[in-house]
Amino acid sequence: MYNLQERLWAEKKKILSKELAMLLIRLNMIKVGDFTLTSGKRSPYYIDLRVLPSYPSVMDKIADMYIEVIRNEISDKQVKLAAVPTAGLPLATAVSLKAKLPLIYVRETPKLHGHMKLIEGILEQGEEAVLLDDLVTTGGSLLRAAEAVRNSGGCVKHAVVLIDREEGGFGNLAQAGIALHYITKIMDVFEWIGEASVLSKGELKRIIEYLEGHGEGELQRA
């Protein structure tokens, strides 16, 4: 016997994944070329979400996508959101407003004035918070944020992002006891892009090879 609700969600998620991929293409948020990421790593593609603030209706739509993932994969009850600096904060605010979920945020660096603390907002001892960020690559910033929440007395079991760049983040987070939830995986985005014939075959092949080279495919997820 299969769970109907899970099946429905799997179908719905495929639609969300495609919708997101189309949004990324339409707003030119996926750049193909030679990039150096903040980590210093080279990458044949780059996800540029800097134009997002210019499109409030897209922010709204993306907030709905996060809400769907949270409701279907994490909890349909009240959950506290913890925004990861700095890109996670605007997105988490949009989600918090639309779903009426309480929000805290992890400070980028402990400030020198006012209260010295790692997070802003109300967090009770032992309370669970769901981390929210835009992207995950290897999981470094999510892990640092999880540490800040845990060191502040909170508990972290889930993280939600728009796109999993599939470069080890899923596994690294799992090791820290954190389940990663995403709206789409980068491999799926490029599959949609392939179908839509937006990139040349050569460009697409180069990216797929790069992604496969990172070895975090379906096997680890199964």
If one asks whether residue 8 binds another protein (CB under 8 A), the answer comes out as no
Task: Provide the minimum distance between the beta carbon of 23 and another protein in the complex, in angstroms, as a whole number.
Answer: 16
- Measured from the CB atom, the residue of 121 and 168 that comes closer to another protein is 121
Say whether residue 6 binds another protein (CB under 8 A): no
Cα dist. 212→20, 185, 196, 198 in Å? 22, 13, 21, 20
Smallest distance from another protein to CB 219, Å: 38
Judged by beta carbon, residue 94 or residue 186, the one nearer another protein is 94
For position 213 contacting another protein by CB under 8 A, the verdict is no
Question: Considering only residues 32, 71, 74, 121, which one is a binding residue for another protein as defined by CB under 8 A?
Answer: 121
Answer for the pair 198, 212: CB distance below 8 angstroms, yes or no.
no
What is the C-alpha to C-alpha distance for residues 128 and 84, in angstroms, rounded to an integer? Answer: 15
By CB under 8 A, residue 103 contacts another protein: yes
- Among 38, 76, 113, 197, the residue binding another protein under the rule CB under 8 A is 113
Region 50-89 residues binding another protein, contact defined as CB under 8 A: 50-57, 59-60, 80, 85-86, 89
# residues near another protein by CB under 8 A: 33
Question: Using an 8 Å Cβ cutoff, are 45 and 30 in contact?
Answer: yes
Radius of gyration of the chain (CA): 17
CA proximity to 129, closest of 171, 166, 75? 75
Measured CA to CA, the distance from residue 170 to residue 183 in angstroms comes to 13
Which residue, 77 or 201, is less far from another protein as judged by CB?
77
Q: Give dist(CA 104, CA 96) in Å, integer.
A: 10
Contact between 39 and another protein per CB under 8 A: no
- Find out whether 185 and 207 touch, Cβ atoms under 8 Å: no
Q: Which is nearer to another protein, 62 or 69 (CB)?
A: 62
- Between 160 and 186, whose beta carbon lies closer to another protein? 160
